Amino acid sequence: MGRVFNFSVLMPRPQQDSYYWLLPYRGIQKAQEELLSHRVRVNFFFFDRYNEKSVLNTGHKLLRTSPDGLLAAPVLPEGFNRFMDDLPPGLPVVFFDSYLPGIKPLAFIGQDAFRSGLLASRLMSLTVHRSRGLVAVIKILPEDYHIAGRIEGFIQGSRDWSGLRPETLDLVGSWSAAQIGKYLEAFYWKHRDLAGIFVTNAMTHKVAEWWKKNSGQEKIILIGYDPIPKNVALLKVGVIDFLISQQSERQGYEGIYTLFRRVVLGEEVKREIMTQIDIITAENVDYYQS
């Protein structure tokens, strides 16, 4: 009855990806506070989102603590596939945010990435101001499987467009706003018929900040992800048109509770917990809870 259950969390540093990871971190913290009386303790192990080796180095430190369960965001596929080979047999593992094909964890908590891409494509086609033109699809590198799923869904939806064409751009996630602006400016001068931009992660504000400086140009539709503060500020002033939320705080929260139900209570748990695909606009953002 006096046993303490130690759950480990392996995730990117909270400040990375424009502080996106602070959202699930908050959800995890909330769950931990609620479960303190049940002798649940959560230990965080943060890796560098842009360094595959960091996953292995941080993961090996984690394993030396002999956790009772693991909650992980497998956003660097190569590093995580190697790390998973080192896990002790029987360790309960829950994935959130992303997944690894061929790996079957205890549970996966996240969004249907393909359908969220389809939704973004639908929003773009309904609201874009030009009848003809280019829609830029910003692929953030290093790419993980849920980002790839969003792009796949968006491209699939674009097949029904008439007069618009998508083009994918590779953008390195660790670039500064200045580097991104220079890269996008060069692209824009080659494609003056730009009608819309779809950003596949929380770095939407970096693209929006570049476009804001071009505010004298014709209106484009800008769609991205996640209600982090910088994205919300640009949504409110109309530079970003739509944000798609994947309920990231809930993902972290549900991840700890899934481990609690399985490890502490011995209950069966859902293999998949799919979060809602929410559309956030300037009109409803003040009332939205992620």
Residues 51 and 19 in one domain: yes
Best CA proximity match to 106, nearest among 81, 79, 82, 72:
72
High-pLDDT (> 70) share of the chain, %: 98
Within this chain, do residues 38 and 76 fall inside the same structural domain, yes or no?
yes
1 pLDDT more than 70: no
Residue by residue, DSSP assigns 199-266 as: E-STTHHHHHHHHHTTTTS---EEEEE---HHHHHHHHTTSS-EEEE--HHHHHHHHHHHHIIIIIS-
Q: Are residues 239 and 117 part of one domain?
A: yes
Specify whether 51 is located in the same domain as 123. no
Tens of pLDDT, residues 19-69: 999 999 999 999 999 999 999 999 999 999 999 999 999 999 999 999 999
Count how many domains the chain has: 2
In a domain, 284, yes or no: no
Q: Is 210 inside any structural domain?
A: yes
Please give the average per-residue pLDDT across 72-100, as a whole number: 95
Residue 11 shares a structural domain with residue 76: yes
Q: What is the pLDDT of residues 111-140, one digit of tens each?
A: 999 999 999 999 999 999 888 999 999 998
Are 140 and 258 in the same domain?
no
Same domain, 226 and 257: no
The answer to the question of residue 287 being in a domain is no
Do 226 and 200 belong together in one domain? yes
What domain range includes position 138? 113-245
Residues 126 and 66 in one domain: no
Nearest CA among 118, 199, 220 for reference residue 161: 118
Is the distance from CB of 126 to CB of 164 less than 8 angstroms? Answer: no
Its sign, for the CA torsion 66, 53, 198, 122, is: negative
Average of per-residue pLDDT across 205-220: 83
| pLDDT for the residue 142 | 86
- What is the pLDDT, as a whole number, of residue 233? 97
* Sequence-ordered list of residues with C-beta below 8 angstroms from that of 122, at least 6 positions apart, any chain: 157
290 has pLDDT over 90: no
Q: Find the CATH number of the domain harbouring 253.
A: 3.40.50.2300
Q: Give domain status of residue 17, yes or no.
A: yes
Give per-residue pLDDT as tens, 63-78.
Answer: 999 999 999 999 999 9
41 & 133 share domain: no
The pLDDT value recorded for residue 218 is 76
Specify whether 190 is located in the same domain as 237: yes
pLDDT at 81: 94
User: Is 282 contained in some domain?
Assistant: no
Q: What's the mean per-residue pLDDT of the chain?
A: 94
Is 237 within a domain?
yes
Same domain? 269 vs 187? no
Q: Terminus-to-terminus CA distance in the chain, angstroms?
A: 35
> Is 14 a member of any domain?
yes
pLDDT at 217 over 70: no
